Amino acid sequence: MNLIRKQNTWFPSVMDDFLNTNWNINVPSYSNTLPAVNIIENDTDFILHIAAPGLNKNDFELSIENKVLSIEVVKDPYNDEFTRQEFDYNSFKRTFSIPKTVEKSKISASYTNGVLNITLPKTKDALTEPKKLIKIK
């Protein structure tokens, strides 16, 4: 997802505008960019933060199959209401292997301020016991 357009400092603005005009020709643009992901593991769960600004929660499709979590967004790159479109909301698919220690039935997700948050709770067997202090006699 490209939110910042690269500025070309070698050509004057007139040449830049001429070369970057799409001339109303719809050419499919494919991008290999994926949203950035932060993964946090704590004692009770795993948390995934996926940076995906400009989307709606209904744009996401989350699924689990064979211990693999898939996050997919399918966006139509063409929109006739724009004369020029520089926002680039690409379709993408990210997959993550889920450890055996995750309780699949309790996975939850929310989308707030351009970040998709997915919580993968650990099973009771995987939870670490709290530290126990032993008194010396």
One digit per residue, pLDDT tens: the chain, 137 residues? 444 455 555 545 555 555 555 555 554 444 457 889 999 999 899 999 999 988 889 999 999 998 899 999 987 666 667 777 776 667 889 999 998 889 999 999 999 999 999 999 998 886 666 777 888 98
Cα separation, 64 vs 107, in Å, equals 10
Cα separation, 122 vs 44, in Å, equals 6
SS3 at position 120? strand
Using a cut of 0.85, tell me whether the model's pTM lies above it. Answer: no
The H or E element that residue 15 is part of is helix 13-19
Place of tokens 């799409």: 22
Cα separation, 61 vs 59, in Å, equals 7
CATH architecture of 13-121: Sandwich (2.60)
